[in-house]
Amino acid sequence: MAHLFNRNVLLGVSGGIAAYKSAELVRQLQERGASVRVIMTRGAREFITPLTLQALSGNPVHTELLDTGAEQGMGHIELARWADLLLIAPATADLIARLSAGRADDLLTTAALATPAPLMLAPAMNQQMWKDPATIANISQLSERGVHLVGPAAGQQACGDVGPGRMEAPPVIAEAAARLFENGLLAGTRIIITAGPTREALDPVRYLSNHSSGKMGYALAQAAVDAGATTTLVSGPVSLTPPEHVRCLRVESAGEMLEKCLELVPECDIFIACAAVADYRPAAIEQQKIKKGPEQVTLHLVRNSDIVAVVAAGDNSPFTVGFAAETNDVLNYARDKMQRKGLDMIVANDVSDPSIGFNSDHNEATVLWRDGEQVLARSSKSTIARQIVELIAVANKGGMCV
């Protein structure tokens, strides 16, 4: 069974008799590890109550486009950024037509336009409606835009007809959703990713560190596994659980991280330096706890080795990706860092914005490489991670990122 660990699935339920199956679909998605939130159209609420899906998902069900209980009343934007996948099941003929036309006249269609996450539809309608030329044209147009379809199945329908148009079984839909993230772009590739902060000891009790949570690096590890890579995570001290199928090596200091990376790099193809490594460490570590003394204390620091620069400068260095977490003049600092350190690619983001900075579940970034750049709109860190991995996969194979 394919998994959806650490994935946020936004489930859209539109108004068809198959809406009752959405309850089982929530369970199927959760069994694969997904966090699930639900949007219901007005028609869907005629077939199944929001309370049912709220109880099963463990989250409030969203129904209105302008939500006074949401941040700034813009619930559709919050949900769009949260989602790693928008899955609409059932997707009625009417909803498919509105999506094809680019309509945004309710919460579900607006979220579909506002999210950078992939969109998957599980159609459900009468067999003649499914065969109608208008529906065929709408499905064709959505497919050309990259929308994914699962089903429909054929068989006995609620109206008494027999034929294609039944919504696929929830286990089949959940499996298709999980398989969507296993793209094989990096099959056979060996990747090392650094994540989290480092801690530079002052004495047995105190240390110097930073606010990195490790969420971006761990999301990249998940995306790398989904792309088929053999993935090793060199992690500083964080409270996160490593993704399944990822080899995780724990370190504390910048020196330990460098030592571990240099040990592993000869056997890797891609190196992603996402960790927030301390630039300096104390010149000396006191063996006993430093006691409170004068009003002012001078602390002597020495510079740590720059891990990503050391890796990039090595013989037969891997494809090397750095991160530029800046608070001002972000792109210029990132371009300078990429050139100065000899990197193949760099991901620049503004950590002065608390909504996308350290500890946030969201991010937005600009990816730079030698021949271009690409802006990644604000979204969940899982979605941003998947987009970064896709760019790396193209660039590493000598292709052009577009």
* Cα-only R_g, the chain: 24
Distance in angstroms between the alpha carbons of the first and the last residue of the chain: 33
Whether residue 159 lies in the annotated active site: yes
Largest CA distance in the chain: 87
Tell me the one-letter amino acid at 177: A
Which regions of 304-387 does DSSP assign to beta strands (E)? 319-326, 345-350, 362-369, 372-380
Alpha-carbon span 382 to 303, nearest angstrom: 33
Alpha-carbon span 307 to 265, nearest angstrom: 11
Where does 233-329 have alpha helices with state H?
A: 254-264, 307-313
Task: Supply φ then ψ for residue 297, to 5 degrees.
Answer: -130, 135
3-state secondary structure of 341: helix
Q: What's the CA dihedral at 306, 321, 35, 5 to 10 degrees?
A: -90
Residue-wise burial string across 106-128, b where 16 or more C-beta atoms lie within 10 A, e elsewhere:
bbbbbbbebbbbbbbbbbbbbbe
Write down the residue that tokens 């929308």 correspond to: 147
Q: Which two tokens stand for residue 298?
A: 């001078």
3-state secondary structure of 401: coil
Nearest alpha carbon to residue 343 among 368, 318, 325, 322: 322
Peptide bond before residue 282 is cis, with ω within 30 degrees of 0? no
Q: Which two tokens stand for residue 398?
A: 């000598």
Q: Identify whether the C-beta of residue 279 lies closer than 8 Å to the C-beta of residue 197.
A: no
Enumerate the active-site residues. 159
